[in-house]
Chains A and B, each alone.
Chain A
């Protein structure tokens, strides 16, 4: 379940990894792919603070969306647990498991990975 565990595909032909897993390597087209687990810490390459949040997510508005670099692959993900005005390019972030969306009062809950700033311990 790649959404729960940051499972990416690594191409056995060209060696590049991509996330989320696709049917073939987006770089060389090969279908010879293997699973790898991505590192859970990375850095923010860029981000945006979005105000046009859908109705059901108004409690979280504005929402921060970031382009996160995990070294071997990059992904777009929500950045949480931080005031939007405190986010900076190059911030170190770590993966956390959170609710992505809820289908009304009776439907399913979709879970996935978001990222939050790593705070020094």
Chain B
């Protein structure tokens, strides 16, 4: 871990999600009024009850005739939105769907997770293959009731099972989803140019890649956590956005988000020609990584509300 990204005092998961959404919409060239579903995946909602998805839908100009919903499944909430969107688009129920993964992750001060919990967002416009920058060949989801990491209602910070979050949770579910996908599609690791896994830190993805038979070179481009921290719902998805910033037409991408509780998805995507024309229409992930102001822990503590201030 080198650095982690911190949301400013006037930002939250909704504001970051909106910025990512506008970038995605600009690249897609779609008319926001043609977006028929907005899924907002997060575990740091500004409101416990009141969807952020409607704020986003309003701000992009998709309201009022649209589906909109906030999803919860720790770090894979947005990914469930992607699977649902594939179904909505393929069944012609909606023309386009917008999926956002956004978090201003928090951890108990002093807890090991404090090193990595960070802020970030990614957004994707899902639509028909024609004009898309990448096409889904298939997808898979693997879930079980596994209490590796949780936060009770009213509790400020999550708790986790330390080592338990590893093998029984992260590894077994990602392996489960990816193996199911590769079996369904008849693919092996060497068929992929890139593999992007949920990245709570810099080590877990490399280890699960090794278990599955991927080479570390395939993971390099999509591994952003060492530079920005674990953005939770943004984690694998920002990695995917970065890969799409550089991938060439014809290349194949595996992306496998994971969420505690627990579950993982796996997708296989092939990149199209359209990616070269669309990628320059919005800032690259690397632009955001490099555009930063470094702050001290004390400023960070004020921004993230770690210091209790009595409101006058």
Contact = CB atoms under 8 A, between A and B. Distances in A.
Interface of A: 1, 4-5, 55-57, 59-60, 80-81, 83, 96-100, 104-105, 109, 111, 114, 119, 121
Nearest to A105: B311
B291 interface: yes
Given A56-B311, A119-B291, A121-B287, A5 B59 contact: yes
7 contacts: A57-B9, A59-B302, A81-B293, A97-B59, A109-B47, A111-B15, A121-B283
Contacts of A83: 293
B69 to A, nearest CB: 19
B12 interface: yes
Most buried by B among A83, A98, A119: A98
Nearest to A82: B293
Contact of B15 (A55, A59, A98, A119): A98
Top 7 closest A-B pairs, CB basis? A4-B59, A98-B10, A97-B18, A59-B9, A99-B10, A121-B287, A55-B312
Given A1-B59, A96-B15, A98-B10, 18 more contacts: A1-B58, A4-B58, A4-B59, A59-B302, A80-B8, A80-B10, A81-B8, A97-B15, A97-B22, A98-B15, A99-B12, A100-B10, A109-B46, A111-B14, A111-B15, A111-B59, A121-B284, A121-B287
Nearest to A58: B309
Interface in B263-312: 283-284, 287, 291, 293, 302-303, 311-312
Nearest to A59: B9
A55 to B, nearest CB: 5
Contacts of A114: 10
A81 B293 CA distance: 8
Interface in B1-44: 8-12, 14-15, 18-19, 22
Contacts of A97: 15, 18-19, 22, 59
A92 to B, nearest CB: 15
A80 B10 CA distance: 9
A99 B15 contact: yes
Contacts of B12: 99, 109
B168 interface: no
Nearest to B18: A97
B131 interface: no
Contacts of A57: 9
Contacts of B11: 98-99
Contacts of B15: 96-99, 111
Contacts of A5: 59, 61
Contacts of A98: 10-11, 15
B303 A59 contact: yes
A80 B303 CA distance: 14
Contacts of A96: 15, 19
Contacts of B302: 59
A80 B138 CA distance: 42
B107 interface: no
A5 B33 CA distance: 14
B55 interface: yes
Nearest to B307: A59
Contacts of A55: 311-312
Contacts of B287: 121
A56 B9 CA distance: 11
Centre residue among B10, B19, B47, B59 by max chain A CB count within 10 A: B10
A41 to B, nearest CB: 13
A56 B12 CA distance: 16
Given A55-B312, A96-B19, A99-B10, A111 B55 contact: yes
A81 B16 CA distance: 13
A119 B284 CA distance: 13
B165 to A, nearest CB: 31
Interface in B56-87: 58-59, 61
Contacts of B8: 80-81
